[in-house]
């Protein structure tokens, strides 16, 4: 199906949902420290979304997902289920937030480094962020999603890391996952051409080792096949008349 082009009213609602998702990540950062469990982080975010934002945590019960956020630690690529796991010094963790407000979704995630992390972990988080930022800064009408995927893949592989191919960014709006699929690899000039009013996520998953992954028996948690570290950053993006807008970026934050 073609990507949905949002109206001015729909874009305003997506700005609000995006802002709220960004606020959850800003709120939770002071709680990400050694000794806290991923389940406690989930409860903190759940309570904030429900009680402070009067919004809905989109992951909760989405296709059976049991929690309100995703917490992906170390070799977990994505969709980690919060639970009893305690964070320890040196861990890296992706916290993935999706908020529904007035029927529209805002989706964002970022990496947190717990205590004193190693050089490899620091470099992996940095390169993954650079890759997302590079992809975002390419967004404008007339370019193709393949251009973005190619640029992300090139940057990651030049840094001797790898891009996960089984999971990707996605269109977003009234639905959590809409067309188009936003691959983080590819060839220039291929896939969908961007037009004003499109909204989608850019969220490269970058492995320190090989790109291959496996799904755990819980049906959700995706880990690196070689047990190497993985990092991911995500924003929801709007294609404007001549450029882009990061709907999940808060004032004062870098992309």
**Tens-place pLDDT, residues 135-161:** 999 999 999 999 999 999 999 999 999
Does some domain include residue 138?
A: yes
**Tens-place pLDDT, residues 159-183:** 999 999 999 999 999 999 999 999 9
**Tens-place pLDDT, residues 97-137:** 999 999 999 999 999 999 999 999 999 999 999 999 999 99
Cα–Cα distance measured from residue 238 to residue 216, given in angstroms and rounded to the nearest whole number:
33
Residue 121: CB atoms within 10 A of its CB come to: 20
Integer-rounded Cα radius of gyration of the chain: 17
Does some domain include residue 58?
A: yes
Does some domain include residue 181?
A: yes
Predicted TM-score (pTM) of the model is: 0.97
Q: Is the dihedral of CA 183, 186, 191, 197 positive or negative?
A: positive
The conformation of residue 148, written as its DSSP 8-state character, comes to H
Does some domain include residue 95?
A: yes
Does some domain include residue 254?
A: no
**Average pLDDT of the chain?**
97
Does some domain include residue 98?
A: yes
Tell me, what's the pLDDT at 75? Answer: 98
CB 107 within 8 A of CB 25: no
CB 229 within 8 A of CB 207: yes
**Tens-place pLDDT, residues 211-244:** 999 999 999 999 999 999 999 999 999 999 999 9
Tell me what the mean pLDDT of segment 16-26 comes to: 98
Total domain count, the chain? 1
The CATH number that applies at residue 140 is: 3.90.230.10
Full residue range of the structural domain in which residue 232 is found: 8-246
Tell me, what's the pLDDT at 3? Answer: 86
Tell me, what's the pLDDT at 254? Answer: 84
Does some domain include residue 1?
A: no
pLDDT at residue 252 greater than cutoff 80? yes
Residue for token pair 């070799």: 75
Does some domain include residue 2?
A: no
SS3 content of the chain, % helix, strand, coil (to 5): 30, 25, 45
**Token pair for 251:** 């004032």
pLDDT at residue 1 greater than cutoff 80? no
Tell me, what's the pLDDT at 250? Answer: 94
């Amino acid at each position: 199906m073609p990507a949905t082009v949002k109206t001015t009213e729909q874009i305003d609602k997506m700005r609000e949902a995006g802002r709220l998702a960004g606020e959850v990540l800003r709120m939770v950062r002071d709680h990400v420290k050694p000794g806290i469990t991923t389940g406690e982080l989930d409860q903190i975010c759940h309570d904030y979304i429900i009680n402070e934002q009067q919004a809905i945590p989109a992951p909760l019960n989405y296709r059976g997902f049991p929690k309100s956020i995703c917490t992906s630690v170390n070799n977990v690529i994505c969709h980690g289920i919060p639970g009893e796991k305690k964070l320890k010094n040196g861990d890296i963790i992706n916290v993935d937030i999706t908020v529904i407000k007035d029927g529209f979704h805002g989706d964002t995630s970022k990496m947190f480094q717990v205590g004193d992390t190693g050089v490899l972990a620091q470099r992996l988080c940095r390169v993954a962020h650079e890759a997302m930022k590079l992809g975002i800064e390419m967004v404008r009408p007339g370019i193709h999603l393949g251009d973005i995927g190619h640029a992300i893949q090139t940057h990651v592989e030049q840094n001797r890391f790898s891009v996960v191919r089984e999971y990707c960014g996605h269109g977003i709006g009234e639905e959590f996952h809409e067309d188009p699929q936003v691959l983080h690899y590819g060839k220039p000039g291929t896939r969908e051409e961007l037009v004003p009013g499109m909204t989608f996520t850019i969220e490269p998953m970058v492995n320190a080792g090989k790109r291959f992954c496996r799904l755990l028996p819980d049906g959700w948690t995706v880990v690196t096949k070689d047990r190497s570290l993985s990092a991911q950053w995500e924003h929801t993006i709007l294609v404007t008349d001549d450029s882009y807008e990061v709907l999940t970026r808060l004032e004062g934050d870098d992309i």
